Amino acid sequence: MALIPLEDNFADVIGKAQRGWKIADAELCRRAEVSAADLAAVQAGRPIDAVLRRVARHLRLDPDALEDLAHGRWRPRPPVFPRGFAMFNTRYGDMAVNSCLVWDSRSRLAAAFDTGADCGAMLDVVAAERLEVSHIFLTHTHEDHVADLARLAAATGATVWASEREPAPHAGAKTFAENAHFHLGEIAVKTLLTSGHSPGQTTFFVTGLAWPLAVVGDSLFAGSIGGSAEHFAEQHGNDVRKILTLPRDTVLVCGHGPLTTLAEERRHNPFFARTPQAPKAEENAVQTKDEGTLPRGKMRVARAPRPIKGPTRFHRRRSERD
């Protein structure tokens, strides 16, 4: 796959933080003690370090991480999956969107996560690997993430699943609550509600591969976060409580932009760098042990006994849409 660029640049990050925390230009200039001209220059993409650092502190952004992003000094280096995982990046209008496929190498059971704009490459992998796709999981139902849902469902015969807060626009689709568990062979999937970008935005935590995996949709991106004009605090809080408390080596499949890891985002994402960790991350750790043995070719969904505790459509500009 070609190198996927970061979804957001430093100016996008500043814009999302301003909109999310509802801090107007004049107020930001007053708080950060910068001129309107300098703020406008930074918003237009000019990396003035002194202004970046002053502004960052008042937008709850890490100054070092924002400065590194502005000068292109960082991009994530995710580990390679030797088998059982494939990501697809397809064009949707003026942007690109991700979807992915996860499978158990022994049973060949597979699950798809979102469809992107075109599921053709995903179906090619399904055929080449002789996979049985039984479930299609949706991180959320924004059009760019479900654009080819009818085709993928028809081609695979898989059941479509989405959050009960945001049902899928597909006949016969089913819904899940937070902390639902699914299993396919040695692969386990758990649902985490990370709403904010959309009402039912879900993160799927997957174990049984070479690395733990979190399909986060538009909850966050490498070096940025999913935007939300009205529910930004909810999105940010859910990310901190439910994603940042996952195992440190977790690979993140974002809805847009490149793969990243939780360790990378804790160090380099301006929204989350230096974010204090939960006092007892173990309490929020995802249960991964398979409870019991299932017949070959079956998947199970069940409520977890202890749910994790924690607290629309497209905007006009590309950086606001996701």
pLDDT (tens digit per residue) in 198-236: 999 999 999 999 999 999 999 999 999 998 878 999 999
pLDDT confidence tier of residue 275, bands split at 50, 70 and 90: low
> How far apart, in whole angstroms, are the C-alpha atoms of residue 16 and residue 59?
10
pLDDT at residue 283 tops 70: no
pLDDT value at position 1? 53
Residues 6+ apart with CB under 8 A from 221: 6, 7, 8, 254, 255, 256, 257, 260, 322
Give the per-residue pLDDT at 50.
98
pLDDT at 303 over 70: no
* Region 70-87 average pLDDT: 94
Read off the tokens for 130: 């002789």
pLDDT higher than threshold 50 for residue 170: yes
**CB–CB of 255/221 below 8 Å?**
yes
SS3 11: helix
Task: Return d(Cα 167, Cα 161) in angstroms, integer.
Answer: 8
Stretch among 56-60, 153-157, 278-282 having the lowest mean pLDDT: 278-282
Task: Supply the pLDDT for residue 276.
Answer: 54
Q: Say if residues 214 and 201 touch (Cβ distance below 8 Å).
A: no
Of 71-80, 110-119, 124-133, 270-279, the one with minimum mean pLDDT is 270-279
Task: Tell whether the model's pLDDT for residue 300 goes beyond 80.
Answer: no
How sure is the predictor about 125, in pLDDT bands with cuts at 50, 70 and 90? very high
pLDDT in tens, 180-194: 999 999 999 999 999
Question: Would you say the pTM of this structure is higher than 0.75?
Answer: yes
- CA-CA-CA-CA torsion sign (119, 79, 288, 306): negative
Other C-beta atoms within 10 Å of 269: how many?
28
In DSSP terms, 180 is beta-bridged to 303
pLDDT in tens, 89-101: 999 999 999 999 9
Torsion of CA 233, 234, 235, 239, to 10 degrees: 100
| Cα distance from N-terminal residue to C-terminal residue, the chain | 22
Predicted pLDDT at 309: 34
Q: What mean pLDDT do residues 120-129 have?
A: 98
Question: In 119-250, where do the E strands start and end?
Answer: 132-137, 159-163, 174-176, 180-184, 187-193, 202-207, 213-217, 220-221, 224-225
Model pLDDT, residue 274: 72
**Which range has the worst mean pLDDT, 172-176, 202-206, 209-213, 306-310?**
306-310
Enumerate domains of the chain plus CATH numbers.
Answer: 10-70 (1.10.260), 85-321 (3.60.15.10)
- Banded model confidence at residue 155, pLDDT cuts 50, 70, 90: very high
Q: How far out from the chain centre does Cα 200 lie? A: 13
- Contacts (Cβ under 8 Å, ≥6 apart) of 124: none
Can you tell me the distance from the alpha carbon of 5 to that of 123, in angstroms, rounded to the nearest whole number?
24
Rounded distance between C-alpha atoms, residue 106 and residue 186, angstroms: 8
Torsion of CA 54, 55, 56, 58, to 10 degrees: 100
pLDDT score recorded for residue 316: 35
Mean per-residue pLDDT over the chain, rounded: 88
